[in-house]
Structure formats: C-alpha cells, structure tokens
C-alpha cells in the first residue's frame, strides 16, 4: 500500500518539475558606460602637433617657392611685351615657354601641398587607430561595456555643408561628467619622445 501511494506522489513531483520553470539565474550586473572626446585625444596625442607643423611648414615652403617662380614668370612676360612685338616671328614660341613655366610652377605648388597633406592624413589615421586602441584597453581594464564618442567643442560651421556633418558627429547629446574617461585615457599615452 505504501508503495502504491509513493509512486503517484513521485510521478506528480516529477511532472511538476517538468512543468514549473527553473529558478531564474541572477541577471548579470550592468556594465558601466563611458564617454570620450576622441578629437581631444587625437589633438593631444604625441606626434599630432608635429605632423600639423610639418604640413604647415611644407605648404609655406611650397608657396614661397611658387612666389619666386611667379615673379620670374611676371618678369619674363613683361620682357616679352617690351622686347618682342605682337605677331613677331618666334613670339608664340617664347609665350609658350613662359606659359609652360607658369603651369609647371602651379602644378608643383599643388603637388607639394598634396604630398604634405597625404603625409598628415596618414599620421592622423595612424593616431586615430592608436587612440581607439587605448580607449578600448582602458574600457576592458575598467569593466566598461560601452564607450561613446562625444565632443566638448562648440558647434560651428560656415555653411550648411560644413555645419550638418558637425551636427551628425555629435551623437551624444548629454553625459554626466563622471562618465568622461578622456583624461584617464590620456594618462596611458606613450611618452612624447617615444614616437
């Protein structure tokens, strides 16, 4: 008799175990969120200021060289007007030489500035990757689940084409100052002489 009562009770307990949900596992604790000013970090990163100075120096040197050739071309044009009459034999060939010198000077200026800008852009791309890696390392080491990019710079723009992209990159509209990890990430920068 005891066995016959125990069997239905046991079966009922097993059925209840299958129907009733298992106790819920504890939800993982939420990971903190941080914000960081990537532009500020890039501007403060070792090598960025030097790359900017090199770009400005190269552009200034190229402009100075162009200005010298521009004066030479202007002198040649003036000399041509005085010494060779319009329609005189050989005038067209001399005008061609002056025009080519002028075009070459303009091309050289643009090319030198382009080369300097390309070098600067390569530096910025490298610096951005290194800064993002430092932000990620700081986030992992300090248990952050998410770090959002923000900027403290005031919104500016001289035209809608300039203003709209400046609005778009400001994806974080509000953050509490205690979420800002910008200064903490700066402390992990390599020494300035290390680059």
Backbone phi, then psi, for 168, in 5-degree steps?
A: -60, -40
Mean predicted confidence (pLDDT) in 18-41: 78
> Tens of pLDDT along 149-166?
998 888 888 888 888 888
DSSP secondary structure string for all residues of 103-135: HHHHHHHHHHHHHHHHHHHHHHHHHHHHHHHHH
Among candidate residues 74, 189, 52, the one with its CA nearest the CA of residue 133: 189
Token look-up 């209840």 returns: 16
Quick: pLDDT tens for 52-103.
Answer: 999 999 999 999 999 999 999 898 888 888 888 888 888 888 889 889 999 9
- Closest CA relative to residue 181, chosen from 28, 27, 32, 50: 32
Cα distances (Å, whole numbers) of residue 139 to 34, 39, 147, 181:
8, 18, 7, 9
Domain ranges of the chain: 32-194
Question: Could you tell me the pLDDT band of residue 4, with boundaries at 50, 70 and 90?
Answer: low
pTM value? Answer: 0.71
Give me the phi and psi of 39, to 5 degrees please. -65, -45
Nearest to 139 by CA among 6, 38, 36, 67: 36
Strand partners, 146: 33
């Amino acid at each position: 008799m005891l066995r016959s009562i125990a069997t239905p009770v046991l079966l009922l307990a097993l059925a209840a175990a299958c129907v009733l949900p298992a106790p819920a596992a504890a939800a993982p604790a939420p990971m903190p969120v941080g914000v960081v000013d990537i532009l500020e970090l890039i501007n403060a990163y070792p090598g960025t200021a030097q790359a900017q100075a090199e770009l400005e120096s190269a552009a200034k040197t190229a402009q100075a060289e162009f200005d010298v050739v521009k004066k030479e071309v202007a002198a040649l044009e003036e000399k041509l007007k005085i010494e060779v009459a319009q329609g005189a034999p050989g005038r067209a060939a001399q005008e061609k030489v002056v025009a080519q010198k002028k075009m070459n000077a303009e091309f050289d200026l643009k090319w030198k500035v382009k080369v300097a800008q390309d070098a600067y852009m390569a530096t910025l791309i490298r610096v951005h990757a290194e800064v993002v890696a430092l932000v990620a390392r700081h986030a992992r080491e300090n248990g952050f689940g998410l770090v959002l990019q923000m900027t403290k710079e005031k919104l500016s723009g001289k035209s809608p084409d300039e203003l709209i992209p400046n609005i778009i990159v400001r994806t974080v509209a509000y953050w509490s100052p205690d979420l800002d990890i910008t200064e903490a990430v700066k402390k992990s920068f390599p020494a300035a002489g290390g680059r």
